[in-house]
Amino acid sequence: MDKGIDLWVIDAFGVATEVGMGNRINTIMQTCFFAISGVLPREEAIKQIKKAIQKTYGKKGEAVVQKNFRAVDDTLAHLYEVNVPGKVTATRVMPPIVSDAAPDFVKRVTAVMMAAGYGPAEMGEMLLDGGAGPLADLKGQVVLVNFWATWCPPCRAELPGLESVYEAKHADGFTIVGVSMDQVSRAQVASFLREHGIQYPIAVATPDVVAAFGGVNSFPTSFLLDAQGRVRYTVHGMFATPTLRAAVNRLLAERG
């Protein structure tokens, strides 16, 4: 509302089905864009779209061309502007994220996650060394929470890349919390980390921690959080080192 948004809606799949195009909506959405963007006068834009359709689909037969022509015309007939009020008029009050009767952990941690924040200190109790120091001050940092296991080949392959980004960007305000899903002893996990030269903090997963991130069913799975604690990237599988580095740089730049 503050930005004076214009809102338009269309049932693109409905239009595509009606004209016999199945689930192909590219022509429909292209028409929507030119119809409302003002890049070209609407009539000129439609003329150019149909010219492009003729050129692109002409070799596939007149029936295909006519389907696309009809999609353009039906788009204009089914594109509706939604009237956005100038101010909020609703009287409804946003209910609590979780019930007051919810367990303490759910209220302290899961509810915070659901509100696009997180409770980093809650994970400190699960650190391999038993301390909470490295995690207590995560607010304000860019944080990668990485669920992994020593027995997971992709996890092991991912570790050197994670460590390299951690070492390069830690001083700039980036850190990693590796959450071990192993069922072995802490000593065994710690030995594995020493052997592979991993320096970033590692925590031991608990059901509550896993639940706080919406459940994790495959490894590795990573959540990259910005300085406000909001999950900005979720990656199932290996987080490619160049991609991670670029994402971290972007979030660090946002932090200022």
Indicate whether 30 and 125 sit together in one domain.
no
pTM: 0.53
Indicate whether 151 and 48 sit together in one domain.
no
Indicate whether 76 and 129 sit together in one domain.
no
Indicate whether 183 and 229 sit together in one domain.
yes
Domain assignment present for residue 49? The answer is yes
**Spatial CA neighbour of 209 closest among 110, 102, 128, 100:** 110
Which string of DSSP letters, residue by residue, matches 64-110?
A: HHHHHHHHHHHHHHH-EEE---SS------PPPSS-TTS-HHIIIII
Instruction: Order the strands of the 142-148 sheet from edge to edge.
Output: 202-204, 174-180, 142-148, 221-225, 231-236
What are phi and psi for residue 224, nearest 5 degrees? -100, 120
Domain boundary pick from 34, 61, 82: 82
Domain assignment present for residue 157? The answer is yes
Indicate whether 166 and 246 sit together in one domain.
yes
Domain assignment present for residue 57? The answer is yes
Domain assignment present for residue 96? The answer is no
Residue 105 has a pLDDT of 56
Domain boundary pick from 62, 82, 102: 82
Indicate whether 143 and 243 sit together in one domain.
yes
Indicate whether 30 and 151 sit together in one domain.
no
Residue 11 domain boundaries: 7-82
Q: 156 vs 126, 150, 198, 224, CA distance in Å?
A: 21, 7, 11, 19
Domain assignment present for residue 145? The answer is yes
CB 132 within 8 A of CB 125: yes
Indicate whether 214 and 130 sit together in one domain.
yes
Indicate whether 242 and 145 sit together in one domain.
yes
Q: What is the pLDDT along the chain (256 residues), one digit of tens a residue?
A: 677 788 899 999 999 898 888 888 888 998 888 888 888 888 888 899 999 999 988 888 999 899 899 999 999 899 999 988 878 777 877 777 667 777 665 665 556 555 544 443 344 334 555 444 444 457 789 999 999 999 999 999 999 999 999 999 999 999 999 999 988 888 888 899 999 999 998 888 877 777 778 788 899 999 999 888 888 999 999 999 999 999 999 999 998 7
CATH code where residue 202 lies = 3.40.30.10
Indicate whether 76 and 141 sit together in one domain.
no
CATH code where residue 22 lies = 3.40.920.10
Beta bridge partners of 8: 81
Indicate whether 55 and 148 sit together in one domain.
no
Domain assignment present for residue 166? The answer is yes
Q: What total of structural domains would you count in the chain? A: 2
Beta bridge partners of 80: 9
Domain assignment present for residue 2? The answer is no
Domain assignment present for residue 243? The answer is yes
Residue 36 has a pLDDT of 86
